[in-house]
Amino acid sequence: MSDAMRCHSAQLGGPMSLTKVLLPRLGVNIDHVATVRQARRAAYPKPTWAAQLAELGGADQITLHLREDRRHIQDEDLFLLRKTVQTRLNLEMAATDEMLRIAFEAKPDMVTLVPERRQELTTEGGLDVAGNKDLLKRMVAELKSADIHVSIFVDPDLDQVQTCHRVGADAVELHTGRFCEAKSVREAQEEHTRLVHAAKTAVKTKLRCYAGHGIHYDNVGDIASILEIEELNIGHSIVARAVMVGMEQAVRDMKAIAQAARRDAVLFAKR
């Protein structure tokens, strides 16, 4: 982690607490366990197995994306996970009436509203909240009426973050893809600065702040060092490592790196 990124992350604007030292929580996205299964239309590997092992490894939350095209996670997976997950269940979904109905039936602990296009390999960019205020305001209100915590996946854009507050969301998940895919040190620093400013804006508007997309073992420390971010949702890199070392160990490794980076960032801020 660069000193410049530590400096950006250290601008707290308030006292540090023990809670901030211990965070961020780790949400493990198990979509790509289902991707392996669906590649052969087999009965295995089961996402429920992966979730149990992830929790044994220290996962604080299990995340899954039920896409409209059902390319990996299936409806049955969601309902089985609701019965078996011991921590928190985070359902990523498009803002559609079909998905709203499924969320009401499954009752996850949290829903994260995400954009979705059938052609994409994975989620590309954040949801345009500013351009869909009326729809999202209705969706958020209906989900919250069912006692479901609502987060919205957005780019680290101040207007989008502020609009999430206006539509009634409980939290934002900042899209970290541009930072994670940066081609130069300068580009990475610029994108990290955008994440820092967006995280601070979220907290100022009383939104919880999460982050995800493209995070892996070599860059998680830079994201975890942003003290306003209290939760990371990570999937592909953990599942890829799990192929080599097992899911439980892959989760332990990721969590240890994130927590060490958070402790270092807090100590740096105290200097």
- The reply to whether 192 belongs to the active site is no
Phi, psi of 202 (to 5 degrees): -60, -50
Q: How far apart are the first and last CA of the chain?
A: 17
Active-site residue, from 55, 92, 231, 248: 92
* Chain center to CA of 206: 18
User: Quick one: tokens of 237?
Assistant: 């890199």
Contact 257, 234 (CB under 8 A): no
Say how far apart CA 101 and CA 108 lie, in whole Å: 12
- The reply to whether 216 belongs to the active site is no
104: left (phi over 0), alpha (psi -120 to 50) or beta: alpha
Active-site residue, from 213, 228, 230, 231: 213
Residues, the chain: 271
- The reply to whether 213 belongs to the active site is yes
Contact 151, 171 (CB under 8 A): yes
Say how far apart CA 143 and CA 103 lie, in whole Å: 8
Closest C-alpha among 41, 31, 93 to residue 64: 31
Helix (H, G, I), strand (E, B) or coil at 223: helix
Active-site residue, from 8, 32, 55, 65: 65
For the annotated catalytic residues, the residue numbers are: 65, 92, 213
